[in-house]
Structure 1
């Protein structure tokens, strides 16, 4: 396991397309998929937040309570804890085609890379030394990128040839995105053309494009916003944004259509469900989307039940 210090740097490479997190195409048909459980029960008291899917029909869900990782088989709904957490949060997460799980560490200000087969920690990175909230992560072909809801920066882990780096880089955010009270930069995704990143600001509901220098530009949503914006997922030019509803009790999965550069977007629809109970993030498998119910407005106890729910991809 590696522990490293942060090093300041600027964004030096052009972003490219995202590594698919839903695993290989495989042979699962839509007819087979309808037989998969629509809910994944989690251990009582687990306090889920982030989710990643793949390779294959497996979901990995992280615990805000202690950083443990639960692996669920989408075909049966059954699962087990494969990684016992360090006592600090596991928030946003993504898997790559090498079977590695990249995990944002929340208030610990760190990131971990976990082997999805064994649960072993392959590397650990201390991204921030002061107050921080490392909230979400996205993988591009050349790097892993982490948001910080407390500090106006992105953290970049370069992945040359897929190799885990010895150090991390800090990209200072400038431009339209300014930090205020509450949760700031949260969910993160690439732009459709792969030349930038998209970041949602939870406390304002605004969406921003982040350019190569870290300069941000507000995305024109034509009068719309993403209140309580949380996890993001891009498929083509369609962006799925989770509005967790923690302040307005109106949880939704919002579907947006973007231009290639990610500078202009329009809300197509909002999907609401009585099965949503403050969902936080979203991941895809075939024609389904899976959302963990974080239940932020429910007092957590060791006996509190939790789950992740599946919906048809809008």
Structure 2
């Protein structure tokens, strides 16, 4: 394990003990001291035809959404629900799938079938760097103090984008997935998170054993299956870890399955399932205060320029 990734574990433990109540320091902060006011909308529209997938919330009450249609990024105020496109994407064939934002105001974008990953300045909307990794479908991303990690849904590998102590991106390295990782004939890896103690990564495998969660050593790529009891993740998509509570969005099931993990992330106990009649195939989740915000991807309809999309908020467990 690289020195930067070892520091990830230490800083993760410090974060858990801090006033954020165990929420992730980068890209998943719960902002417990800033609970949304009662008049903040629990549902708000996204642009017609936008085709949302990823969501990110940083240190201010704004949500960022990525477009599968052309890679655009839309920012909405959580206080009002109003927003606008703040970054134009590369165009058709270069979507924005997974999305995270760091404390420096830099967005990290998974480029899906475009086979790339990008960084975007959230203030100016400018694409800072674009890395062609040759991946078949770069799906999701998670930030650690030493790196941004990306999944590839059609190949047994992760992409590690090195970050310096100021969060500036450097070189990309491909990390093969081995050990108990089982690669399916098609779509396999999806969402990615970290273990509560910061020692490893967690990756959804939609193929193995009917849908499972794998714990990946970031230094070696060796994967081991997380014991979730009888629970399965056949439609597991985006994940969000708050303290030891892991939220897994099961998109086609219109549900969020909630697990309590042990510190090392080797075992999880199912504690709740969140459903809501407003869910229309949500894909990913981000937190602010006591709420989870999710974009409705509506994968059950053929997208058109007039297709309506929205985001919804539900209470955390």
One fold, TM greater than 0.5?
Answer: yes
Residues 216-253 of structure 1, C-alpha deviation per residue, up to 9 Å, x if partnerless? Answer: 000011121112000000011110000001xxxx2211
Q: Once the 2 structures are TM-superposed, how far is the Cα of residue 84 of structure 1 from its aligned partner?
A: 1.0
Count of aligned pairs: 297
Is 1:185 aligned to 2:185, yes or no?
no
**What residue in structure 2 maps to residue 6 of structure 1?**
none
Structure with higher helix content: 2
Displacement after TM superposition at 1:40 (Å): 2.3
What do you get for the CA RMSD once the two structures are aligned?
Answer: 1.7
Answer yes or no: is the 8 Å Cα contact 2:96–2:112 preserved in 1: yes
Q: Compare 203-212 and 299-308 and name the one that shifted more.
A: 203-212
What displacement does 1:112 show? 0.9
- Give the unaligned 5+ runs of structure 2: 13-23
Helix, strand or coil for the counterpart of 2:96?
coil
- Pick one of 72, 93, 104 that aligns with 1:98: 104
Deviation (angstroms), 1:25: 4.3
The alpha carbon displacement at 1:160 in A equals 1.6
- After superposition, residues 14-163 of structure 1 pair within 5 angstroms as 14=6, 15-16=8-9, 17=12, 18-21=24-27, 25=31, 28-30=34-36, 32=37, 34-87=38-91, 88-128=94-134, 132-163=136-167
Distance in 2, matches of 1:221 and 1:105, equals 30
Asked if 1:223 is matched to 2:230, the reply is yes
1:126 shift after superposition: 1.2
The runs of 4+ residues in structure 1 deviating greater than 6 Å are none
Q: Distance in 1 between matches of 2:246 and 2:201?
A: 12
Please give the alpha-carbon distance, in whole angstroms, between the structure 1 residues aligned to 2:195 and 2:29: 21
Within 2, Cα distance between the matches of 1:256 and 1:27? 24
Query: Which residue of 2 is the match for residue 176 of structure 1?
Result: 180
Taking the aligned partners of 1:220 and 1:27, their CA distance within structure 2 comes to 33
State the shift of 1:164 in Å.
2.6
TM-score normalised to structure 2 length: 0.90
Report what 2:302 is aligned to.
299
* 1:276 match: 279
Q: Contact conserved, 1:55 with 1:95, CA < 8 A, in 2? A: no
Counterparts of 2:71 and 2:124, CA distance in 1? 16
Normalising to structure 1: TM-score of the pair?
Answer: 0.90
State how far apart, in whole Å, the 1-side matches of 2:29 and 2:247 are.
18
Q: Which residue of 2 aligns with 1:3?
A: none
Question: Quick one: structure 1 residues 40 and 202, their matched pair in 2 at CA, closer, same or farther if it must change by over 3 Å?
Answer: farther
* 1:265 pairs with one of 254, 265, 268: 268
Structure 1 runs not aligned, ≥5 long: 1-9
> Residue 196 and residue 109 in structure 1: after superposition, are their counterparts in 2 closer, same or farther (change >3 A)?
same
